[in-house]
Chain A
Amino acid sequence: MNATLTRWLQAPSIILLFIWMIVPLSLTVYFSTIRYNLLYPERTGFIGLDNYRFFWTDPAFMPALLNTLVLVGSVLFITVILGLTIAVLIDRPFRGRSIARVMLISPFFIMPTVSALVWKNMLMDPNNGLFAALANALGGTPIEWLQDFPLLSIIIMVSWQWTPFAILIFMTSLQSQDQEQKEAATLDGAGFWAQFRNLTLPHLARPIAIVILIQMIFHLAIFAEIFVTTSGGPGVQSTNLTYLIYIQSQQAFDVGVASAGGVFAIILANIVAIFLIRAIGKTLTV
């Protein structure tokens, strides 16, 4: 294959991706510095950082930022701990293991809008939901999940979807663990915890880091679960940054402010992406 052919073969993907990246990105940055509201097309002109100021001083901004951090942090904590535990539990031969595996990872393949509706209606509904029925049967009062604990409800739903992801990754990594090393450790009298701390955990250090970084990227962008269940409410109690920007664009029609928020979201995601790219770069052998 000569150099010209190589160039022709590689050009389409590179050029198209470059356009896909640079055009929207520069438009977002451009829009964020001008007056641009779809409801008031006559108002135009460069306004510097006013859109950013408007976005930051929005009373919903701080709660949304805080919600985003709480959401990402809690889901990470839950999914990594649960994922590790379950991956270790299932990492042994037993009858029906492949069925248990399939059951454990299935939630990850359910579309987000479906899982949000299943949790909202059939499980968490304070009148007809299963949790309410359980609470009644046990003599308690049903919890108004989405009303009283909106953010926690979202955390539970997202954790249900993403723990399977952590399990899947950890399970895959555990399979490549050196079994002889483990057997040697057992013969030396190392108990489960000693083995877990000194062998398994170091072996899983990289996958854990990768899972954390990837989930951060995805969870900063959580949208459908909020859109379907709480619509960010009550008030702004379950509004995250993504949802706040969506509201600015689709309900206030303020392109400028929504774009300023978009730039903020991009910067936030990039902080994570830098670390992720570095971690990936180490494994990509060329």
Chain B
Amino acid sequence: MTDKQRDILKNRIAVFFAWVAALAFFFPIFWMVLTGFKTENQAIAIPPLLFFEPTLENYTEIQSRMNYTHFAMNSIITSFGGTLLALLIAIPSAYSMAFNTGRWTKDILMWMLSTKMLPAVGVLMPIYLICQKFGLLDSRTALVVIYAMMNLPIVMLILFNYFREIPKEILEASRMDGTSTLNEIRQVVMPLAWGGIASTALLSIILCWNEAFWSIVLTTTEASTLTAFVASFQAPEGLFWAKVSAVSTLACAPIVVFGWLAQKQLVQGLTFGAVK
């Protein structure tokens, strides 16, 4: 065997194991999706069924019997609301930090990131009691505010990095033409930053959507998001596997797609900008 042939063989083996890993990691998701199309009896059949006649009854029943839309709406409102609020606060700040970088800018950003590292459980009691005092337990408002503040540091950092990539020369040129700050933002910066803002929003939505500490602790039914709704299925043994799978599939599908789209921002956001 020549060296070249050996290299090709090695490469093939590596690719083979890459696929083994990919299939293994994806399998639980595949199995969940599959179970969502089984009847409850098929779902707990022994031995487990790989081939069966698929049914859509779970998907119709989770709506009529479990009010899926209510929880989905809560997830949508809290994650989009939290993201929007975070963006509204972050865009002006990140913009001014990026274009008027001062002595303290780096320290401020680092401090912001450090607040993200506070464990939620460390401030569980104060947040819980504050919500209780203001009648915000089991309310979407509380979650929107918490999610916004939770993601603000990451949103700030990513936006800051995006704004910095906009060449200063473009701004200077428009300033020479006498453009006002407002117009400068509207006509020059925004078109350039739009992609960055959109992908930052995507990342923030993913993080809010999958958040499972505050939603479980602070909500009971009214404001429960999908994470908390799914958690409520922990108790019954062997029941509703098919329906839970259908709920889970619906709850995860959009976010998995978002995740694929936002991979790059995810790397940057989750490593606090340390890996790009």
Residues from chain A with a CB closer than 8 A to the CB of B129 are 27, 255
CA distance A128 to B153 in the complex (A): 44
B274 adjacent to A280 (CB under 8 Å): yes
CA distance A255 to B96 in the complex (A): 41
CA distance A265 to B218 in the complex (A): 20
Contacts A13-B112, A214-B270 aside, 8 further interface pairs with beta carbons under 8 A come to: A10-B93, A107-B26, A108-B259, A111-B251, A128-B46, A168-B267, A262-B124, A281-B110
Q: Is B170 an interface residue (CB 8 A)?
A: no
B29 adjacent to A90 (CB under 8 Å): no
Of B11-19, B51-59, B192-200, the segment with at least 4 beta carbons within 8 Å of chain A is: B11-19
B256 adjacent to A112 (CB under 8 Å): no
B274 adjacent to A128 (CB under 8 Å): no
Nearest residue (CB) in B for A115 is: B28
CA distance A9 to B264 in the complex (A): 28
A window 82-108: CB within 8 A of B: 86, 88-90, 92, 94, 96, 99-108
Q: Is A184 an interface residue (CB 8 A)?
A: no
Q: Which of A88, A102, A133 contacts B260 (CB 8 A)?
A: A102
A163 adjacent to B121 (CB under 8 Å): no
B149 adjacent to A250 (CB under 8 Å): no
B234 adjacent to A228 (CB under 8 Å): yes
Using C-beta atoms within 8 Å of the partner chain, give the interface range for chain B: 35 or more
B126 adjacent to A228 (CB under 8 Å): no
Binary CB contact string for chain B from 96 to 108 against chain A (1 if under 8 A, 0 otherwise): 1101111001101
Q: Is A39 an interface residue (CB 8 A)?
A: no
- Nearest 5 interchain pairs by C-beta: A109-B259, A24-B123, A27-B126, A224-B212, A9-B96
A221 adjacent to B119 (CB under 8 Å): yes
B window 48-76: CB within 8 A of A: 48
Min CB distance, B202 to chain A, in Å?
Answer: 11
Q: Is B144 an interface residue (CB 8 A)?
A: no
Residues from chain B with a CB closer than 8 A to the CB of A211 are 271
A277 adjacent to B112 (CB under 8 Å): no
Interface residues of B (CB under 8 A from A): 10-11, 14-15, 17-19, 21-23, 25-26, 28-29, 31-32, 35, 43-48, 89-90, 92-97, 99-102, 105-106, 108-110, 112-115, 117-130, 149, 152-153, 156-157, 181, 206, 209-210, 212-213, 216-217, 226-228, 230-231, 233-234, 238, 241, 244-245, 248, 251-252, 255-256, 258-260, 263-264, 266-267, 270-276
CA distance A241 to B245 in the complex (A): 30
Min CB distance, B259 to chain A, in Å?
Answer: 4
Binary CB contact string for chain A from 274 to 286 against chain B (1 if under 8 A, 0 otherwise): 0011011101101
Residues from chain A with a CB closer than 8 A to the CB of B130 are 23-24, 27
Q: Which of B106, B114, B272 has most A Cβ within 10 Å?
A: B272
A210 adjacent to B35 (CB under 8 Å): no
B149 adjacent to A20 (CB under 8 Å): yes
Residues from chain A with a CB closer than 8 A to the CB of B93 are 9-10, 12-14
Q: Is A54 an interface residue (CB 8 A)?
A: no
Interface residues of A (CB under 8 A from B): 1, 5-6, 9-10, 12-14, 16-17, 20-21, 23-25, 27-28, 31, 86, 88-90, 92, 94, 96, 99-115, 117-123, 125, 127-128, 130, 133, 136-137, 160, 163-165, 168-169, 172-173, 192, 206-207, 210-211, 214, 217, 220-221, 223-224, 227-229, 231, 241-242, 245-246, 249-250, 255, 258-259, 261-263, 265-266, 268-270, 272-273, 276-277, 279-281, 283-284, 286
Min CB distance, B252 to chain A, in Å?
Answer: 5
B123 adjacent to A28 (CB under 8 Å): yes
A112 adjacent to B227 (CB under 8 Å): yes
Nearest residue (CB) in A for B233 is: A117
CA distance A114 to B272 in the complex (A): 26
CA distance A21 to B119 in the complex (A): 11
CA distance A107 to B32 in the complex (A): 12
Nearest residue (CB) in B for A99 is: B22
Given contacts A104-B21, A121-B244, A128-B44, contact A109 B210 (CB under 8 A): yes
B15 adjacent to A92 (CB under 8 Å): yes
What are 19 A-B contacts with C-beta separation under 8 Å? A90-B18, A100-B19, A104-B22, A109-B206, A110-B210, A110-B248, A111-B230, A113-B216, A113-B228, A114-B227, A122-B241, A128-B44, A128-B46, A169-B267, A227-B231, A228-B234, A262-B123, A266-B118, A269-B122
Q: Which of A101, A109, A122, A192 contacts B10 (CB 8 A)?
A: A192
B25 adjacent to A106 (CB under 8 Å): yes
B226 adjacent to A111 (CB under 8 Å): yes
